[in-house]
Structure 1
Amino acid sequence: MSAGKAYVERLRDGRQVWLNGELIKDLPSHPDFQGTVRSVAELMDLQEHPEIGPQLTYLTETGHRANLAFLIPESKEDVYRRSRSFKLWSEATFGVMSRVSGAYRSQVAGFYAGRDALRDDVPGFDEKITRYYTELRDRDLLLTSAGHDPQIDRTKLATELGDLYTAVRIVRETEEGIVVRGAKMIATGGPYMDEIIISPLAKKSQEEKHYALLFFIPVNNPGVHLICRESFAQTNEEDYPLSSRYDEMDAVVVFDDALIPWERVLIKEDPDALWKLRTNPYLGAIGLHENIVRFVSKLEFVAAVGNELADSIGIKKFPHVREKLAELFFQLESIKALLQAAEHRSFQYGNGKWAPDMKPMNTAKNLGNRYYPRALELVQLLTGAGVLQAPSTLADLRGPLGEMLKLYYKGADRGPVERLNLLKLTWELVGSPLGARHELYERFYAGDPARTYAGQYLDYDKQPLIDKARAHWAAGR
């Protein structure tokens, strides 16, 4: 059985995925999920392609071929090798599928590579993460994460809300494991995954220690429900080239007294250990790498669409159009340069393993939540109201008025079918529900931008710059 077919079969495991008030009985055949399932299966099959597969996988010590997201870099060349695999994987979906790539596979690899840091703080962490990492890697499983508490009253801590059905916490312990209740948001891609990491992203105080948990669940864990947002999926690939294939879906994960076995509980009610892991520099570096590679692919895609729009109506000769197109490419080249700098400056972290330099990647991440909304705005400005002139369906060109309509929908450099295909794609990017969702994703996937910007400022080593400036000031006084 191919990797893609095995993946599809794994989705028929009794998982509790809810959409429009109904339990989805068979995810792969459901019209709101089947297009994305097919796309993910095709990605999985790339690992077995005779030419592409060797660029996406490596041979492990157990004799399995594993996705390169699981590789723990032992050299700078390993960092580049992982980057090339991320790029191939991202380009297959134009950078619009974030959770089937390697971000959270890389995070688990980081947990494993940095396991020594918590050996003395958390009994059993070393053994548990080793088993989990090996299982994920050798079974080629996909995973996502859910780390935010429900947005009920953000002026209060979870402990002040007084309702156990809010943030995830333990309600009792048994010989088999912990029983948890509450909810986490947002599990991007959750319905399509094999596993979900559950852990708060924000720092928890000792007062909130009941919510300081890190555990892993299979998506079909009993007592776990995935509550999906409205589906943006379409079944007509001709008119909806992106949402018919790449609606990644977002879901709130609800725990209804779900039993989590002890072997899957890595940290229990320990804010200090959890924050020590969260702020581990190696974990940040190896986990963020794929996100930046994927974002480059996404900016390449948007820039290409903007360029094609300008060509299709012959407006590239105008200086204000060239200015907008140039800005799209400025964005792209800036993020690429930061990625290349991070990889070139790769070094051995405290655990002896290699990863890219975090500073350029952090900059790329923080620029990204401003760049992408601006990129969509630029494309909107380039097309004006052009995307609204497209007919409801391309089938109109084959209908009774088809020959007449072809006169009005042709472009400056292309025929009507190609022009309308471009307009449909553009609408998917900048005007559709899927497009709006992607703008929100790029703004907030890494957390509150105000906090991430402030965090980068606090972490930046400013003293050498200050000392240099003071020395010049003193010399010139």
Structure 2
Amino acid sequence: MLRSGAEYIDSIRDGRQVWIDGEKVEDVPSHPMFKPIVDIRARIYDLAYEKKTADVMTYTDAATGERCAIGSKPPTSKADWQQKRDSVDAVLSDVGGVVTRVGDETTGEMWSLFDGQQVLNEIDPQFSENIRRHVERTRIEDPFHVSANTDAKGNRAKWPTEQDPDVLLRVVKETDSGIIVRGAKFETAAAYANQAFVKPTIADWGNAPTSEYAVGFIANMNAKGLKFICRSGFAQKDARDFPLSSRFDEVDTMIIFDDVLIPWEDVLFYRHTKAAAFIRATLHRYSAFPYLQRYERWADLLLGTAYLSAQQTGVKMHQGVRENIAKVANYREMVSAHLTAAIETAQTSPEGFLMPNQQILFSGRALASKMLPEMVHTVRDISGCQQSLLPSASTFDNPEAAEYLNKYFAVDTVSADDRFKLLAFTRDLLNSDYATHRLTFQLFAQSPPFSHQLAVYNNYDFRGAAELVREAAGMSESTNISNEENLARVEKEPSEKVSV
């Protein structure tokens, strides 16, 4: 049931066509741009076998008695969510940084579609059966599962039919074996993943009941006709100078679907815009939780960096410094509190899963996203300018230069080596190309920040607050608000717009 790291690595040695920096990659797992992050994903698989972490990474399947990964288990209890939270924390602590696209955060999107089986049954019962089978397969086999959302889009002021129709992924042909799709999608980690849940990004279908763009499916990443064109990476930097860039770059990829056959058994919905609108409206009801948990770990890194920097330089006694450190601590605990509360007040989904409290979860995500840039700059302010003036580690290796560097970088009981390591880590966390990329990714990986606010609005039950004011103001009952209209709008006006 459980995969090993070696089995995962072998599974992506399948002849897929991958390009990066103008080079066609012959072997993804060993290529220097991919090897660090592939090794981390392999490490996550291996943690399930190690005595110290096996119990937090796995559970015993009641039906088979086999051990399975907790990350891909559909949640049915608060204990499931707490174990998922613990397993992610164990992974991030073991690898020493933050990785986002490793599977646990994207599997939840299929659970959202599972909750929409009533919608799928109205279209074609086979689609409902397909999603049930894929949820079960993912639970048992634990493939590296990612999510392909963003299209090339073209001119967003025009419909695809008014320009090159391939700017959004679409179905170009039906066959007895399945559908033929053409277009491009952007997806982090696709070049070294096993499968992707591919779905449309259109949020407003107008009055069209059907569309060749309204399609969702599971794509095997070794399918014939797939091509992967990756952005330039950060992984080849010296690990001493860039301890995060060199290990944690999750390579973003444009996946080209060059007339790719998707078998009917892998099609989750097709043509009907109602199904596409439903999945856009509910896509992140589960996956927002692990994304928010990544904000918590970023906050831990920011807080630790701020505190150690102030400690090394002896500025902790200043009131302004303490207030800024406390500000970062407040941010960290705000994120943690939303995670805890979302579990403790979890709600039963339409198909019997347990989903985190939607009001609390989406409110926490909106606040975490909005406040993150301010927290980064606050820590930058605490850490000072020296991080941007840091010589490279190789300069410290030069005996002549090292004599001066060891003298001027040492601070009382803090060695020059420890001072350099903290400054290098701080620079990579806050000021490097990788840091800027990660900040942008964290803000937009699920949806733009404005969509986070819309998700709060569309998932919030305003009846309690409205009733409180109605009674306090002495208003008639005829003006009482009903949430039925709000809930109905969720299906018509998706809470998640285009994912960037």
Q: 3-state DSSP class of the match of 1:279?
A: helix
Partner of 2:407: 407
Partner of 1:66: 68
CA contact (8 A) 1:94 1:301 kept: no
Overall identity of the aligned pairs, in %? 29
Partner of 1:123: 125
Instruction: Flag as ranges the 4+ runs of structure 1 deviating above 6 A.
Output: none
Partner of 2:495: none
Q: Following the alignment from structure 1 to structure 2, what is the Cα–Cα distance between the partners of residues 12 and 262? A: 26
Q: 1:131 to 1:353 in 2, by over 3 A?
A: closer
Counterpart selection for 1:145 from 119, 144, 147? 147
Q: 3-state DSSP class of the match of 2:245?
A: coil
Q: Following the alignment from structure 1 to structure 2, what is the Cα–Cα distance between the partners of residues 272 and 278? A: 10
Residue type at the aligned position of 1:408:
Y
Partner of 2:482: none
How far apart are 1:151 and its partner, in Å? 4.0
CA contact (8 A) 2:74 2:139 kept: no
Partner of 1:416: 416
CA contact (8 A) 1:177 1:261 kept: yes
CA contact (8 A) 1:239 1:424 kept: yes
Residue type at the aligned position of 1:183:
A
Alignment deviations for residues 411-441 of structure 1 (CA, whole Å, 9 cap, x no partner): 3541111111111111111111111111101
Partner of 2:491: none
Q: Following the alignment from structure 1 to structure 2, what is the Cα–Cα distance between the partners of residues 467 and 347? A: 22
Confirm whether residue 315 of structure 1 aligns to residue 318 of structure 2: no
Partner of 2:480: none
Q: 3-state DSSP class of the match of 2:247?
A: coil
CA contact (8 A) 1:105 1:142 kept: no
Q: Following the alignment from structure 1 to structure 2, what is the Cα–Cα distance between the partners of residues 278 and 122? A: 19
Alignment deviations for residues 177-235 of structure 1 (CA, whole Å, 9 cap, x no partner): 111111122x0121221111110234241547221110111112111112111211125
Partner of 2:177: 176
Equivalent residue runs for 1:300-379 within 5 Å:
300-379=300-379
Alignment deviations for residues 45-82 of structure 1 (CA, whole Å, 9 cap, x no partner): 11111121111111222343221122223332223222
Partner of 2:79: 77
Equivalent residue runs for 1:208-357 within 5 Å:
209-280=211-282, 284-357=284-357
Q: Following the alignment from structure 2 to structure 1, what is the Cα–Cα distance between the partners of residues 256 and 376? A: 33
How far apart are 1:93 and its partner, in Å? 4.1
CA contact (8 A) 1:285 1:355 kept: yes
Q: 3-state DSSP class of the match of 1:285?
A: coil
Residue type at the aligned position of 1:448:
P
Q: 3-state DSSP class of the match of 2:450?
A: helix
Q: Following the alignment from structure 1 to structure 2, what is the Cα–Cα distance between the partners of residues 111 and 67? A: 21
How far apart are 1:168 and its partner, in Å? 0.6
Q: 1:470 to 1:347 in 2, by over 3 A?
A: closer
Please, what is the CA RMSD of the aligned residues?
2.2
Equivalent residue runs for 1:185-200 within 5 Å:
185=186, 187-200=187-200
TM-score by length of 2: 0.89
Q: 1:252 to 1:397 in 2, by over 3 A?
A: same
- Which of 96-105 and 404-413 deviates more? 404-413
CA contact (8 A) 2:231 2:253 kept: yes
Q: 1:138 to 1:352 in 2, by over 3 A?
A: closer
Q: 1:13 to 1:411 in 2, by over 3 A?
A: farther
CA contact (8 A) 1:242 1:428 kept: yes
CA contact (8 A) 1:204 1:211 kept: no
Q: 3-state DSSP class of the match of 1:237?
A: coil
Residue type at the aligned position of 1:158:
P
Q: Following the alignment from structure 1 to structure 2, what is the Cα–Cα distance between the partners of residues 82 and 202? A: 31
Q: Following the alignment from structure 1 to structure 2, what is the Cα–Cα distance between the partners of residues 424 and 129? A: 46
Q: 1:180 to 1:114 in 2, by over 3 A?
A: closer
Q: Following the alignment from structure 1 to structure 2, what is the Cα–Cα distance between the partners of residues 458 and 138? A: 33
Partner of 2:479: none
Q: Following the alignment from structure 2 to structure 1, what is the Cα–Cα distance between the partners of residues 130 and 351? A: 18
Partner of 2:425: 425
CA contact (8 A) 1:347 1:355 kept: yes
Q: 3-state DSSP class of the match of 1:165?
A: helix
CA contact (8 A) 1:147 1:184 kept: yes
Q: 1:3 to 1:427 in 2, by over 3 A?
A: same
Q: Can you give the 5+ residue segments of structure 1 that lack an aligned partner in the other structure? A: none
TM-score by length of 1: 0.93
- Which of 23-32 and 136-145 deviates more? 136-145
Q: 1:459 to 1:132 in 2, by over 3 A?
A: closer
Q: Following the alignment from structure 1 to structure 2, what is the Cα–Cα distance between the partners of residues 458 and 74? A: 24
Residue type at the aligned position of 1:369:
S
Q: 1:220 to 1:399 in 2, by over 3 A?
A: farther
Q: Following the alignment from structure 1 to structure 2, what is the Cα–Cα distance between the partners of residues 50 and 180? A: 44
CA contact (8 A) 1:346 1:354 kept: yes
Q: Following the alignment from structure 2 to structure 1, what is the Cα–Cα distance between the partners of residues 80 and 139? A: 17
Q: Can you give the 5+ residue segments of structure 2 that lack an aligned partner in the other structure? A: 476-500
For these two proteins, the number of residue pairs brought into alignment is 471
Alignment deviations for residues 101-123 of structure 1 (CA, whole Å, 9 cap, x no partner): 51112323443465455333333
Equivalent residue runs for 1:10-29 within 5 Å:
10-29=11-30
Q: Following the alignment from structure 2 to structure 1, what is the Cα–Cα distance between the partners of residues 195 and 339? A: 28
